[in-house]
C-alpha cells in the first residue's frame, strides 16, 4: 500500500540554466496529481531495468536524506542543487524538472525522486495587437511526460535502511569524456547491482560465447536458456546461475566452467531477485527468425512437446521445422 504524504516539483530554468525552487508542496488532494505520482513510483518498482543498491554509512548523502522527514522542502532543495550542478554542465543530459515524493510503502517511509525530461510540443497563442486578434503557433519546450509515458531516470529510497531502487540511463559526461550512469555514480555516489534486464543480458551473452566455443547450435541453446530462466524466475523469484548451468550443460563440466567464467567477467549477480511478471510477456514465448524470412512464435509450454513442434537436423547441415497436428489456421491480419 502506497500512502503519499507530501510532494514537490523543482524546475530547471532553460533560460538561466539554474533551478527554480518551489517553496510549497504540490496539492496532493488533486486526484490527477496523486495518480501521476503513483504512476511514477510504479515505473521504477515494476521495471525490468530497475537496479537495487544500498548506500554505505559513509555515503555523503546519508546525512541529507536523514532530514527528509523533518524538513522535506529544504532537503529537496539541497538535493536539487546537487543534481542540477551535474546536469547543467553536461549538455548531453536532457533538461528536466525534479519531482520529489515523501511517501510510505507498506508503512515503510520512502523518498521518491523522478527526473521528468522535457519534450517539445506545439500549442496555440492568441495575441491582440493594433486591434487585430491573431492566432499563432508556438513551441512549448518544457512539456513533461504523461503518466503513461516512460521515464529514463527515477529512484525510490527506503529511508529506514537506505536501500534504493533506481532506473537510469547512461549519458556523456564532458569532464570524463565518456558515457556513465551519472544518476548513481555522480549524484548518489554509489554503484547498484545490475538490473534484471542486465542480468538476463549477461546470461544470454555468456551462453552465446560458451556455445560458440563448443560449436553448439545457438538457436537451440538460447531456447533452452529462456526456458531455464523462466523456470528459475517462476519457481524461486531469482535468476540462479547454478540452475541455468545444470539445465543447459548437465554433467559437461568443461561447458559449465566456460559459462561461469563468462558471467563472472561480465559482473553477473548470482540469485538476483527476479519475477517473470516484471520481465514481461516476451518470456512466455520462444521466438525464432529463420534465414528465409519466416518468423515463428511458440508458447513456452508447447516448445518441447514433440506432438506440436519438432526441429530436425538434416545431414546437409540445414534444419527443418515441423509444426504438427494443426486443426485450424487463423490469419492475424
Highest mean pLDDT: which range of 56-65, 240-249, 312-321 = 56-65
What pLDDT shows up at residue 233?
81
Q: Tell me, what's the pLDDT at 62?
A: 97
Over 70: is that where the pLDDT of 275 sits? Answer: no
- Kindly state whether residues 241 and 163 are assigned to the same domain: no
Say if residues 160 and 47 touch (Cβ distance below 8 Å): no
The answer to whether residues 305 and 229 belong to one domain is: yes
Domain co-membership, 14 together with 104:
yes
Average pLDDT over residues 78-97: 95
Q: Percent of the chain having pLDDT more than 90?
A: 58
Q: pLDDT (tens digit, 9 = 90+) per residue, 10-30?
A: 999 888 889 999 999 999 999
Tens of pLDDT along 136-179?
Answer: 999 998 899 999 998 999 999 999 999 999 999 999 999 999 99
Residue 76 has pLDDT above 90, yes or no: yes
What integer is the mean pLDDT of 118-143? 90
Domain extent at residue 48: 2-118+144-186
Same domain (yes/no): 259, 319: yes
**Whether residues 35 and 75 fall in one domain:** yes
Residue 304 confidence class, pLDDT cut points 50, 70, 90: confident
The answer on pLDDT for 85 being more than 90 is yes
Q: In total, how many domains does the chain have? A: 2
Residue-level pLDDT at 300: 80
First-last CA distance in the chain: 42
Say whether both 203 and 310 belong to one domain: yes
Does the pLDDT value for residue 308 go beyond 80? Answer: yes
Amino acid at each position: 500500500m502506497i500512502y503519499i504524504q507530501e510532494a514537490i516539483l523543482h524546475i530547471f530554468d532553460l533560460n538561466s540554466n539554474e533551478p527554480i525552487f518551489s517553496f510549497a508542496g504540490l496539492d496532493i488532494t488533486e486526484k490527477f496529481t496523486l495518480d501521476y505520482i503513483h504512476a511514477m513510483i510504479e515505473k521504477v518498482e515494476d521495471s525490468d531495468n530497475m537496479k537495487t543498491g544500498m548506500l554505505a554509512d559513509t555515503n555523503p548523502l546519508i546525512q541529507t536524506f536523514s532530514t527528509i522527514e523533518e524538513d522535506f522542502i529544504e532537503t529537496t532543495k539541497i538535493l536539487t542543487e546537487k543534481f542540477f550542478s551535474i546536469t547543467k554542465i553536461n549538455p548531453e543530459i536532457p533538461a528536466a524538472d525534479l519531482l520529489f515524493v515523501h511517501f510510505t510503502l507498506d508503512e515503510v517511509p520512502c523518498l521518491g525522486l523522478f527526473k521528468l525530461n522535457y519534450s517539445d510540443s506545439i500549442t496555440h497563442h492568441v495575441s491582440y495587437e493594433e486591434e487585430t486578434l491573431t492566432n499563432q503557433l508556438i513551441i512549448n519546450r518544457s512539456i513533461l511526460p504523461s503518466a503513461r509515458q516512460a521515464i529514463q531516470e527515477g529512484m525510490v529510497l527506503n529511508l529506514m535502511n537506505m536501500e534504493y531502487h533506481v532506473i537510469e540511463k547512461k549519458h556523456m559526461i564532458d569532464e570524463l569524456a565518456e558515457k556513465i550512469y551519472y544518476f548513481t555514480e555522480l549524484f548518489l555516489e554509489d554503484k547498484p547491482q545490475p538490473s534484471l534486464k542486465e542480468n538476463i543480458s549477461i546470461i544470454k551473452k555468456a551462453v552465446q560465447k560458451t556455445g560458440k566455443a563448443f560449436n553448439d547450435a545457438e538457436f537451440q541453446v538460447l531456447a533452452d536458456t529462456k526456458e531455464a530462466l523462466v523456470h528459475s524466475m517462476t519457481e524461486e523469484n531469482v535468476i540462479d546461475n547454478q540452475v541455468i548451468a545444470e539445465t543447459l550443460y548437465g554433467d559437461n563440466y568443461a561447458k559449465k566452467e566456460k559459462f561461469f567464467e563468462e558471467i563472472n567477467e561480465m559482473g553477473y549477480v548470482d540469485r538476483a531477485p527476479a519475477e517473470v511478471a516484471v520481465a514481461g510477456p516476451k518470456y512466455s514465448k520462444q521466438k525464432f527468425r529463420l534465414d528465409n524470412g519466416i518468423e515463428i512464435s511458440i508458447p513456452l509450454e508447447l516448445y518441447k512437446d514433440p506432438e506440436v513442434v519438432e526441429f530436425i537436423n538434416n545431414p546437409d547441415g540445414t534444419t527443418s521445422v515441423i509444426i504438427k497436428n494443426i486443426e485450424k489456421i487463423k490469419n492475424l491480419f
